[in-house]
Amino acid sequence: MNALTATSRNFKLAARLLGLDSKLQKSLLIPFREIKVECTIPRDDGSLVSYVGFRVQHDNARGPMKGGIRYHPEVDPDEVNALAQLMTWKTAVANIPYGGAKGGIGCCPGDLSMSELERLTRVFTQKIHDLIGVHTDVPAPDMGTNPQTMAWILDEYSKFHGYSPAVVTGKPVDLGGSLGRDAATGRGVLFATEALLAEYGKSIAGQRFVIQGFGNVGSWAAQLISEHGGKIVAISDITGALKNSKGLDIPRLIKHSTENRGIKGFDGGDYIDPTDLLSEDCDVLIPAALGGVIHRENANDIRAKFIIEAANHPTDPEADEILTKKGVKILPDIYANSGGVTVSYFEWVQNIQGFMWDEEKVNSELKSYMTKGFKAMKEMCKTHQCDLRMGAFTLGVNRVARATVLRGWEA
């Protein structure tokens, strides 16, 4: 099931539980604006190449739209649409004053030089600069983009609108980026995991973890969990998969991965088939890579008691049903990985105020937001007699629906 179908399905289930009017439902599902632009740039060898860029602005009832820009060969309107909609519910679950958006360019960033990436980013910004803005739509990094990409967008946007650091988040700290932003999604995963385990009288210490994906989110989550006494027994990235029942040495693995651009060649564990990683014996499974990795074919093989969705849409709805019947507790993506967008919000606030926070304040505020979000989600689970995913969806959809109605959506 593709991401758009799955997200819309979850939305409809939540809308039914909330008893939303069918016209309001339709209004909430339809994106506010969809943008598609052609970005033509000269390659370093002088040849011209064209890429298609997208930006879907889903909803602005609760504030400016917010969402990442990804550079990936599989960026297509359907996926961008689904992720923009997910951002609307995610910012509402986190209770930060944003709506949802998402963007991307269909390209393979690894095939482009640094100067080609800069030209592509600047052309994309030129095409959309009048449709994004501090109080309109605030982009952030995503797959294939990073703080440097945001620095180029900020610079290009500022040529048209004057210096506007709050137009993007996830910037380098030297340009108004927030301390703690780099680790934010992984740290949010840590706080979310602590909150869920506490419900069952457990703590991170002594639990066995399997993490799929060792990029920014996976590596930070692994580092923070191991610092809190969790044992990481298996990890994978695009170069391979490793396991060690005694627990992997995470600081050494991070150093190796940084130096060798992947975990391949690390000597602190046994190599396994990456497709077997999800079915490794553990207490907590954290998918932190691509979407759709847990599906009908492999859901029965999963042995974890808890799944923390650090990636966007890693579990298909069919797999959801299978796992729920098995008694597996799934912490949904729209709550579990909201640490990144929450600290992006802190960055935006700091930029608007022109007053920067220290890292301790950023981390303690993040913990406070993640804890409050978990409590609010559990309340919805009690009210509607539903699982955590529907608890999160009803919480997010209800907040957006109330804001929409209060603003007078039929006028």
What does DSSP say about strands 65-72 and 137-141: parallel, antiparallel, or unpaired? parallel
Quote the strand ranges of 87-227, DSSP E. Answer: 99-106, 137-141, 208-212
Amino acid residing at 215: G
C-beta neighbour count of 246 within 10 angstroms: 9
Report yes or no: 99 and 58 within 8 Å, Cβ to Cβ. Answer: yes
Exposed e or buried b for every residue in 69-104, given b needs 16+ CB within 10 A?
bbbbeebeeebbbbbbbbbbbbbbbbbbebbbbbbb
Beta bridge partners of 243: 234, 270
Q: Which residues are catalytic?
A: 102
Q: Are 196 and 374 in contact (CB under 8 A)?
A: yes
Residue written as token pair 């975990």: 263
Q: Are 7 and 25 in contact (CB under 8 A)?
A: no
Please check whether residue 399 is in contact with residue 376, taking contact to mean a CB–CB distance below 8 angstroms: no
Length of the chain: 411
- Which one, of 172, 175, 178, lies nearest residue 147 by Cα? 172
8 A C-beta contact, residue 75 and residue 36: no
Taking the CA atoms of 289, 28, 129 and 137 in sequence, report the sign of the dihedral they define: negative
Q: Tokens representing 160?
A: 């048209």
The single-letter code of the amino acid at 320 is D
Closest CA to 248 of 280, 289, 275: 280
Q: State which amino acid sits at residue 261.
A: R
Residue pointed to by tokens 């879907």: 56
